[in-house]
Amino acid sequence: MPQNEVNLFTSFGLPLLFIFGPLLFSWIFGNIYQKKKQEELGARVQAFGTDNLSTLKTPPGQVSASGLLSANIIMSVSWWQKLLGGIKTVFGGQVETWDGILAWARREAMQRLREQARARGYDNVINVRLETSEIQSSKGRNTAIEILAYGTGIKI
Amino acid sequence: MAPAEGQPVQTIEMMMSNTETIPGHSIVQMLGVVTGSTVRAKHIGKDILAGFKNIVGGELKGYTELLQEARAQALQRLVMEASSRGANAIVNIRFATSAIAGGAAELMAYGTAVVVG
C-alpha cells in the first residue's frame, strides 16, 4: 500500500537521511579535499628542494643578519573523522584521524616557515620550535589544533 | 616596505631571536624579562563558517589569520616594552598559547631584553 510506504519513509527514511547524509557527505568530500590539499603540500615541498630548517642553536658559520620568523596553521578534523575519533576514544588505542591531521598540520607549518625564510632572504632557520595548542569554539563543540613553528632566520 | 606575512608592523628597530644570543653579536647588558600578550576571541561569523568547514576538515584559514594577527600584536607589545627599557634586541623569545574559557585564547610572547654590541 502506498500510504504505508510513505509512512515508513517519513518515520525511518528521513531521520536516517538526516543522520547519515551529512556524515556520508563529510566522508566522501572530506577524503577528496584532504587528499588534494596534502598532494599540493607534497608538491610544494618537492619544488622547494632543500630543507633550510634546523633545531640547532648555533649557526653554521658567520652570520650577517638574523630575525625572528614564525608560521602557524589551524587544523580541524572533518565530521566523519570526528565520529571515528570519538568511537576510538571509547576503546582506546591509536587515533589515526588525529594522527594524520596533526602530522599534516606540522608539515604545512614547517613548509610555511621555510617559504617565509626564503621570501625574506634568509639562508637558514635555526632553533626551530614546534608548539601545539588547542583552540575551541565558543560552544566548545568543535576542537581545532594550532601548530606554531618559529625560529631564527639567518643570513650566512 | 610592507611587512611580510605573519610579521609584526615594526616601527621600532629591534633585533629579535629565539636563540640565546643574536647571531653575530654579543650581549653587552641584560635588562630583564619582557612579555607581550593579547587575548582574542573569535568572531561569531567566523565561528559559524568554521563549523561548515569542519564538514571536510583541514585548515581553518580564518582562525589561522586571526591568530597570526594576534601574535603579531603580542610581539609588537613585547617590542614596545623592551624599547621602553632601552634595549636594542630581544633574545630567547618564546611563544605560549593558552585557551581561556568561552572560545577566547591568550597569546603571549616573552623573552629577555638585552643590549647587544
Indicate which CATH number applies to the domain containing A33: 3.30.110.70
**Residue range of the domain that includes B25:** 15-42+70-116
Domain at B90, CATH number:
3.30.110.70
Are B99 and A116 in contact (CB < 8 Å)?
no
Distances (CA, A) of A120 to A26, B4, B83, B115: 39, 8, 24, 24
Residue B95 covered by a domain: yes
* Average pLDDT of the residues in B58-85: 88
pLDDT of residue A110: 92
pLDDT of residue A147: 92
Half-sphere exposure of B63 (CA within 13 A, CB side): 33
A82 vs A101: CA distance, rounded Å: 11
In chain B, what residues touch A96 (CB-CB under 8 Å)?
Answer: none
What is the per-residue pLDDT across A23-52, written as a single tens digit (0 to 9) for each?
888 888 888 888 888 888 888 888 888 888
Our CA angle for B80, B82, B85, nearest 5°, is: 110
Read off the C-alpha cell for A91.
576503546
Say how many domains are in chain B.
Answer: 1
- How many whole angstroms from its chain centre is CA A50? 22
Check residue A103 and report its DSSP letter: H
- Is the pLDDT at A6 greater than 80? The verdict is no
Residue B112 covered by a domain: yes
- Is the pLDDT at B79 greater than 50? The verdict is yes
B98 vs A148: CA distance, rounded Å: 13
Please give the share of chain A, as a percent, with pLDDT higher than 90.
15
Are A144 and B24 in contact (CB < 8 Å)?
no
Q: B23 touching A, CB under 8 A?
A: yes
Residue B53 covered by a domain: no
Sequence length of chain A is 156
Would you place residue B48 in the very low, low, confident or very high pLDDT band (cuts 50, 70, 90)? confident
State residue A74 phi and psi, 5-degree precision: -115, 125
Of B19, B58, B99, the CB nearest to A37: B58
Would you place residue A58 in the very low, low, confident or very high pLDDT band (cuts 50, 70, 90)? confident
- Is the pLDDT at B8 greater than 60? The verdict is no
Are B51 and A142 in contact (CB < 8 Å)?
yes
B3/chain A closest Cα distance in angstroms: 10
In chain B, what residues touch A63 (CB-CB under 8 Å)?
Answer: 23-24
* Residues B58, A34 contacting (CB under 8 angstroms): yes
More confident residue, A130 or A135: A130
Report chain A's mean pLDDT, rounded to a whole number. 84
B8 vs B75: CA distance, rounded Å: 7
Are B95 and A131 in contact (CB < 8 Å)?
yes
* Average pLDDT of the residues in B7-13: 59
Q: Which residue of chain A is at minimal alpha-carbon distance from B104?
A: A138
pLDDT of residue A149: 92
Interface of A with B in 77-136 (CB under 8 A): 77-79, 81-82, 101, 105, 108, 116, 119-120, 126-127, 129, 131, 133-136
B108/chain A closest Cα distance in angstroms: 13
| pTM for the structure as a whole | 0.81
Distances (CA, A) of B110 to A8, A51, B39, B93: 63, 28, 15, 5
- Is the pLDDT at A138 greater than 70? The verdict is no
Of A131, A140, A152, the CB nearest to B17: A152
Q: Cell numbers 621602553 correspond to what residue?
A: B84
Half-sphere exposure of A68 (CA within 13 A, CB side): 32
Residue B101 covered by a domain: yes
A10 vs B39: CA distance, rounded Å: 48
pLDDT of residue B2: 41
Report chain B's mean pLDDT, rounded to a whole number. 82
Please give the share of chain B, as a percent, with pLDDT higher than 70.
83
Would you place residue B3 in the very low, low, confident or very high pLDDT band (cuts 50, 70, 90)? very low
Of B18, B23, B99, the CB nearest to A136: B99
pLDDT of residue B9: 52
- Is the pLDDT at B1 greater than 50? The verdict is no
Distances (CA, A) of B14 to A112, B62, B83, B87: 23, 29, 8, 8
Are A77 and B15 in contact (CB < 8 Å)?
no
Are A101 and B6 in contact (CB < 8 Å)?
no
* Residues A119, A153 contacting (CB under 8 angstroms): no
A135 vs B103: CA distance, rounded Å: 7
Inter-axis angle of helices A79-91 and A96-119, nearest 10: 130
Q: Amino acid identity, residue A79?
A: W
Check residue B100 and report its DSSP letter: E
* Average pLDDT of the residues in A103-131: 90
**Residue range of the domain that includes A67:** 2-155
pLDDT of residue A11: 76
Read off the C-alpha cell for A16.
536516517
Say how many domains are in chain A.
Answer: 1
pLDDT of residue A82: 83
Would you place residue A139 in the very low, low, confident or very high pLDDT band (cuts 50, 70, 90)? low
Half-sphere exposure of A129 (CA within 13 A, CB side): 17
More confident residue, B88 or B1: B88
Of B44, B59, B105, the CB nearest to A73: B59
Would you place residue B109 in the very low, low, confident or very high pLDDT band (cuts 50, 70, 90)? very high
